[in-house]
Amino acid sequence: MFDCVFDQLALHSAVQINVALVGHLQQVQQHVGNFIGNVLFLIWIQMCRLRLLRGHPLEDFGQLSGLHHQCGAQILGRVKRLPMALSREFTQGKLQCLEVHGVSLMGSISASADCLASAPQLASRHLASLHNLPMPRPTQLLHPPRPPAPTRAAATVLLLRDTPEGIEVLMTRRSAKASFVPGAFVFPGGGIDAADACCHNQCQRRATQTDSTLTQAVAAIRESFEELGVLLARHADGRWASQAEIDGMDRTSDFAAQCAARGLTLAASDVFVLARWITDRDLPKRFDVPFLVARMPPQQTPVADETEQFEPVWVRPADALARHQAGTFFMIFPTIRTLQQLQAFATVDAVLRACAVNEEPLFTSCPRAGLLAGREVRFMEHELPFSELALVCPDGQNVHPLDWQTETPVPLLKNVLRLTAPNPGVMTGPGTNSYLVGDASTGFIAIDPGPADEAHLGKLWRAAGGDIRLIVCTHSHPDHAPGARPLQAMCTPKPPILGLPSAATARANSVFVPDKTLQNKELLVLVPSGLEANLSYKNGHTLQVIHTPGHAANHLCLLLLEDGLLFSGDHILSGSTTVIDPPDGDMNNYLNSLDLLSAACLEHQIKFILPAHGHVMGGPNDEALAAIARLKRHRLQREAKVLLAMQAQPTGTLDDWLALAYDDVPQRMWPVAKRSLMAHVARLEALSG
Ligand SMILES: [Zn+2]
């Protein structure tokens, strides 16, 4: 065996062990000892890796044990000082996990120089976290970076009035020659001038208004005056500026001085923040704009300046939206969405009251654009496709198709492909998402092959270039696991099917026995072929297993550690709610697993969640954590409703409680909801002892 190893050493010597390799070895040398020891160590790792990648079942590693013991024993005594859980386990002789440790230890070599200064409690964290690398890795992004244009400060104001038919808002048409959104119907507004910050002492001001919100209010008041001849200013006795006073002023010259000359104070305290819009990342001219709101002063008539603005019009939000829909009233996305929000209010007072709660906008948005049927469509942060666009096109590249289709795999990163199975339905949403993790140099791990649909599996196999190394099932429901065996049969050599065996509680259509049972926290590693490339873990793809019973007893999730992704199976879904179907489903386990996922996201800087049904969730900050917290809150709120229903009708049937606790859910979903209701009831009964 050693001879064979040294043959390899000869092959990889000289040129192959190049600068990068020597660099890594030197980093390690001080911790491991002599150079030969290092080389043996690397070769040993390489042997493990090769055996793993050739699909040897775990037992086969026994044949290498002599080598492990010889090389390993020689090296382990020195390696154990590395702050790695891996090395700790080695010292405990846990050779059954070699397939994992062999490759991961290689990562520890390249990471060791930076890591060694870290505290030992970091031991259980993966290298990527230790390095605090950006997630996902920039090298895996599909599109070249394109920093968005910087934003400029501006302000706009919705002037409102009450009518018997509801609120009306003042809008005007922008000049056809305007550099920004020509011809669009907008609210008056514009860029913030330096002078706007200079007349704070001419303002009525709320105690809570900061200098910057005051400046924004001044800019909005000035723009309303210049563009429409509307003046939000009062006399000392509280009277609003009159039309005659406005008619006597020059809308093109110093606004503040003219107000001061007439004893007018700017009514900034009557201007509130409704929303904040930041222009989409893909647009060449970008603004950061508070959408302010104020009641229209009485007895004033808007008159457009006929240069920047034309056609002032009072319009109900619903009418403006209908006319836009009909193609006769062009508006841009933020205007449309703001009007939609405004529809929720019956009176101007109601709007102002909502905005007066604090100085924060009711909502903030920097929309993202994707393609639907080839056409550009924009989304706000709370809308389902937004997070997917944030992952695939972080700089706002407007190129990502969002249509659900089952023909072509959708690349999400260079190392993550999604292929949706043709099984859409009430329970499966757009269909089951099968994922491929990896690349041509590493081979692929297939996650959730889906139903045994030959055409779907064929597409998945082709997308991986036939090079599928491992098949993982998040759980054994019939829309997830039955494709595993036929997919395995397509591959040469046959990749092992990994997962958790179904419990005795599983329904007949969910019985499942994997080739190998995945341990909690186990790592599945793909590394490129070729010794040189192997030396950088940055080129590899490491999935960590997390057992997450709840939706199914044999459910697991996977973390892609280098890119901060969570493959959530059915535990977390986008656009639908996970069903907990007892007895295989268990609500208490489900909630506990959510906590586990939350902790794992924190530990591993998980940014995005890739569910088995629906679009990508999460975002570059803490959106993934927030999504999990929201999900848990939703469950507990539902449980509170179930408890109320049970208390209201102590002798009621499940159907009685269902009608009360799920009164907000369409009746066609009740048969499914009843399963989750049973899970809640079981948990409540267990909690009450
Ligand atoms: Zn399921």
* C-alpha–C-alpha distance, residues 530 and 655, integer Å: 62
CB 57 within 8 A of CB 96: no
Distance 601 CA to ligand 1 centre (A): 22
Distance 688 CA to ligand 1 centre (A): 28
**Residue 628 DSSP class:** H
CB 601 within 8 A of CB 625: yes
Distance 570 CA to ligand 1 centre (A): 5
Which two three-digit tokens encode residue 345? Answer: 């209010």
Phi and psi, residue 429, nearest 5°: 60, -130
The per-residue pLDDT for 174 is 87
Average pLDDT for 209-222: 96
Phi and psi, residue 170, nearest 5°: -85, 125
Distance 168 CA to ligand 1 centre (A): 48
- Residues sharing a CB contact under 8 Å with residue 133, sequence separation 6 or more, in sequence order: 538, 562
Distance 207 CA to ligand 1 centre (A): 54
* C-alpha–C-alpha distance, residues 558 and 521, integer Å: 9
Distance 383 CA to ligand 1 centre (A): 24
Distance 475 CA to ligand 1 centre (A): 7
Residue 46 clears pLDDT 70, i.e. is over it: no
Which two three-digit tokens encode residue 603? Answer: 């530990």
| Longest CA span, the chain | 102
* C-alpha–C-alpha distance, residues 581 and 682, integer Å: 11
* C-alpha–C-alpha distance, residues 127 and 119, integer Å: 13
- Beta strand segments in 334-395, E: 363-365, 368-372, 375-379
Distance 552 CA to ligand 1 centre (A): 7
Residue 675 clears pLDDT 60, i.e. is over it: yes
Torsion, CA 624, CA 629, CA 630, CA 635, rounded to 10: 130
Distance 508 CA to ligand 1 centre (A): 14
Distance 663 CA to ligand 1 centre (A): 24
Using alpha carbons only, what angle is made at residue 304 by residues 299 and 308, rounded to the nearest 5 degrees? 150
The secondary structure of 250-314 as a DSSP string is -TTS-HHHHHHHTT-EE-GGG-EEEEEEE--TT-SSEEEEEEEEEEPPTT------SSSEEEEEE
Distance 432 CA to ligand 1 centre (A): 10
What stretch of H or E contains 470?
A: strand 468-472
Residue 157 clears pLDDT 70, i.e. is over it: yes
Distance 551 CA to ligand 1 centre (A): 7
pLDDT level of residue 121 (50, 70, 90 thresholds): very low
CB 342 within 8 A of CB 351: yes
Distance 550 CA to ligand 1 centre (A): 10
The per-residue pLDDT for 3 is 27
**Residue 464 DSSP class:** T
Distance 37 CA to ligand 1 centre (A): 48
Residue 482 clears pLDDT 90, i.e. is over it: yes
Distance 412 CA to ligand 1 centre (A): 23
Which two three-digit tokens encode residue 614? Answer: 């629906």
Residue 211 clears pLDDT 70, i.e. is over it: yes
Residue type, 202: Q
Distance 158 CA to ligand 1 centre (A): 47
In angstroms, the Cα distances linking 657 to 365, 646, 671 are 39, 6, 13
Please list the residues that pair with 611 across neighbouring strands. Answer: 569
- Residues sharing a CB contact under 8 Å with residue 687, sequence separation 6 or more, in sequence order: none
Distance 7 CA to ligand 1 centre (A): 49
- Average pLDDT of the chain, as a whole number: 83
The per-residue pLDDT for 292 is 98
- 3-state SS assignment for residue 647: helix
Distance 642 CA to ligand 1 centre (A): 23
pLDDT digits (tens, 9 = 90+) for 505-526: 999 999 999 999 999 998 888 8
* C-alpha–C-alpha distance, residues 285 and 179, integer Å: 9
- Of 328-332, 496-500, 536-540, the range with the lowest mean pLDDT is 536-540
Distance 341 CA to ligand 1 centre (A): 36
CB 108 within 8 A of CB 126: no
Distance 553 CA to ligand 1 centre (A): 10
**Which residues are near ligand 1, the ion (C-beta closer than 5 Å)?**
477, 570
Distance 669 CA to ligand 1 centre (A): 16
C-alpha Rg value of the chain to the nearest Å: 31
Distance 543 CA to ligand 1 centre (A): 20
The per-residue pLDDT for 133 is 77
**Residue 505 DSSP class:** T
* C-alpha–C-alpha distance, residues 56 and 45, integer Å: 15
Distance 476 CA to ligand 1 centre (A): 7
CB 151 within 8 A of CB 286: yes
Residue type, 528: P
**Residue written as token pair 């160590």:** 41
Please list the residues that pair with 172 across neighbouring strands. Answer: 186
pLDDT digits (tens, 9 = 90+) for 424-479: 998 899 999 999 999 998 899 999 999 999 999 999 999 999 999 999 999 999 99
Residue type, 236: A
pLDDT digits (tens, 9 = 90+) for 280-330: 999 999 999 999 999 999 999 999 888 888 889 999 999 999 999 999 999
373: left (phi over 0), alpha (psi -120 to 50) or beta: left
Residue 345: name the closest of 464, 169, 171, 226 by CA.
Answer: 169
pLDDT level of residue 71 (50, 70, 90 thresholds): very low
Residue 104: name the closest of 524, 615, 635, 658 by CA.
Answer: 524
Distance 449 CA to ligand 1 centre (A): 13
Distance 571 CA to ligand 1 centre (A): 8
Distance 626 CA to ligand 1 centre (A): 23
* C-alpha–C-alpha distance, residues 656 and 645, integer Å: 8
Distance 568 CA to ligand 1 centre (A): 11
**Percent of residues, the chain, with pLDDT higher than 90:** 72
**Residue 537 DSSP class:** G
What is the sign of the dihedral through the CA atoms of 655, 658, 663 and 667?
negative
In angstroms, the Cα distances linking 568 to 126, 268, 540, 574, 610 are 19, 49, 21, 10, 6
- Of 183-197, 286-300, 366-380, 527-541, the range with the lowest mean pLDDT is 527-541
Distance 384 CA to ligand 1 centre (A): 20
In angstroms, the Cα distances linking 65 to 62, 92, 376 are 5, 15, 58
Distance 480 CA to ligand 1 centre (A): 7
**Percent of residues, the chain, with pLDDT higher than 70:** 80
Q: What is the pTM of this model?
A: 0.80
Distance 433 CA to ligand 1 centre (A): 12
Distance 589 CA to ligand 1 centre (A): 15
Distance 569 CA to ligand 1 centre (A): 8
Residue 52 clears pLDDT 80, i.e. is over it: no
Distance 613 CA to ligand 1 centre (A): 10
pLDDT level of residue 530 (50, 70, 90 thresholds): low
Distance 415 CA to ligand 1 centre (A): 25
Distance 635 CA to ligand 1 centre (A): 17
The per-residue pLDDT for 306 is 82
- Residues sharing a CB contact under 8 Å with residue 682, sequence separation 6 or more, in sequence order: 582, 586, 587
Distance 627 CA to ligand 1 centre (A): 19
pLDDT level of residue 38 (50, 70, 90 thresholds): low
The per-residue pLDDT for 525 is 82
Which two three-digit tokens encode residue 136? Answer: 């996902």
Distance 477 CA to ligand 1 centre (A): 5
Distance 446 CA to ligand 1 centre (A): 17
